[in-house]
Amino acid sequence: MSFSGTVRLTDLNDFIAPSQNCIKPILDERSTANQSERMRLDRDEINKSSQEKRILKPVSVTLDDCLACSGCITSAETVLIEQQGPKEFLKMIEEFSNDNKVISKETKSLFVVSISPQSRASLAASYNLTVEVTQRKLCAFLRSLGVNVCLDTTFARNFSLLATAEEFVDYYRKNYLNSTSTSLSISPLITAICPGWVCYAEKSVGDIVIPLMSKVRSPQAIAGSFVKDYLSQMMNILPNRIRHVTIMPCFDKKLEASRSAFFTDDGSSREVDLVLSTSDIHIIVMFNSVLPYACLTLLTKMHCTIMKDQARVDIWNLFSNTLPKNCSTWIYHL
């Protein structure tokens, strides 16, 4: 299934109906008549207007425009862009490889892929492999394409859970234990990492829900900030010289990565440059002209620990190092 690089408003079939008017005024060339003006149409005028055919210009909007829209983005898998798919990933790999051939050795660069446990489990079930074997073979396959580092986002998930628990304890102490109110009107703390639900809440009941939402980032956002902040500093590589791709179970994670809040501090790059769904990575395996199971089987003996030269990292040594004590900058929404 191929996806267009634009959003076709007529193709949307989502929980929230599309808005009748686009938020981009330049896209709407229809005259804005005075709504208070009274109009009268007789039978002839109605028949005449109904017979007229009007060809409308195709409307295309970017993903960022959609995220600012008032109506149509929640969980529609049809709302995707080319920059978040298999073709763009392979193009990014090729550009990264070509850049490394022409740049000086002093200019370091890194290609990182973060794999979610949900996607890993789905691939394991699809290929009839264990989760551990799938992780090793998937990392080996990605390395064969030119990826330097493979991360398991379980560490980011654990950070998110611990930070959420700490946030809830503080919230409970502040609003319940230290409160003199006896009413039951004290609101709960709402946690959600689903981009579709978050977007729906923002567009529909934002004034009510947003103040109650947890400030903890999602595992993908934590991994993105970890790679472009901590890993960048530890390896002395500029954030814009790091390509970070995540493999996630849901298409809506593409929307999350495109939000303006998830840029590096200097604004030079996104914390997650590209998001692949589980089906996207399956397509990439097929694209390399090898049967999925055969491809993974042939890579069994490949060494997937990321340690070949100084420009690459042994990920196990990375996590054995002591993380910074104050890592709130890449765990919380500030």
Contact 274, 242 (CB under 8 A): no
Using a 10 angstrom Cβ sphere, with 0-12 exposed, 13-18 middle and 19 or more buried, the burial of residue 298 is middle
Mean pLDDT highest for which of 49-53, 186-190, 225-229, 297-301? 225-229
Q: In this predicted structure, which of 75-84, 181-190, 304-313 has the lowest mean pLDDT?
A: 304-313
Handedness of CA 206, 212, 218, 223 (dihedral sign): positive
The CA-based angle 62-257-19, given to 5 degrees, is 40
42-48 long-range contacts, Cβ below 8 Å, gap at least 24?
none
DSSP 174: I
> Distance between alpha carbon 253 and the CA centroid of its chain, in Å?
3
pLDDT recorded at residue 210: 85
**Mean pLDDT across 282-292:** 68
Q: Which two tokens stand for residue 138?
A: 């998937």
Q: Is 248's pLDDT higher than 90?
A: yes
Query: How is domain 82-157+217-330 classified at the CATH fold level?
Result: Rossmann fold (3.40.50)
Local confidence band at 122 (pLDDT 50, 70, 90 cut-offs) = very high
Mean pLDDT highest for which of 175-179, 193-197, 298-302, 327-331? 193-197
| Domain residue ranges of the chain, discontinuous segments joined by + | 1-25+57-80, 82-157+217-330, 159-212
Q: What are the strands, taking DSSP E only, across 43-143?
A: 110-115
The CA-to-CA distance between both ends of the chain, in Å, stands at 38
The pLDDT > 70 percentage for the chain reads: 57
Contact partners, residue 33, CB within 8 Å, separation at least 6 = none
